[in-house]
Amino acid sequence: MQTLTLRGGGRVAVVEAEWYDAFCVVTRGRVQLELRDGEPGPVLGRDAGFWLRGTGVRALRNPGRRTARVRVVTPRARTVTRQSTDPVRQLPNDGGRT
């Protein structure tokens, strides 16, 4: 399990190959989904859970001033081999702190 921290006004791109099986839960603040066409999507508050798989979401944004946190859960015992020419963006590892 990882924690994604978004400072006020912050944005993180969603690369579908990296977020394919991730389930996310907003644990602090609010997070807005940025849709494929760049339009703003729904704003999700604390305790909102969501999948990104197949949604066409291209980024997560923090529309507020305060820091928002999202817990990202992915299946553990899965080995996936994939080749990509794109650089891989890794989520920060918080060392398991809550």
Contacts of 78 (CB under 8 A, 6+ apart): 21
Q: Are 11 and 64 in contact (CB under 8 A)?
A: no
Residue in this structure with the two tokens 């080749």, named with its chain if needed? 83
Give the pLDDT confidence of 20-70 residue by residue, as tens digits: 788 999 999 999 999 988 899 999 999 999 988 878 889 999 999 999 999
Q: Are 58 and 35 in contact (CB under 8 A)?
A: yes
| Mean local confidence (pLDDT), 67-91 | 63
What is the number of other CB atoms lying within 10 angstroms of the CB of residue 25? 16
**pLDDT attached to residue 90:** 55
pTM score, whole prediction: 0.71
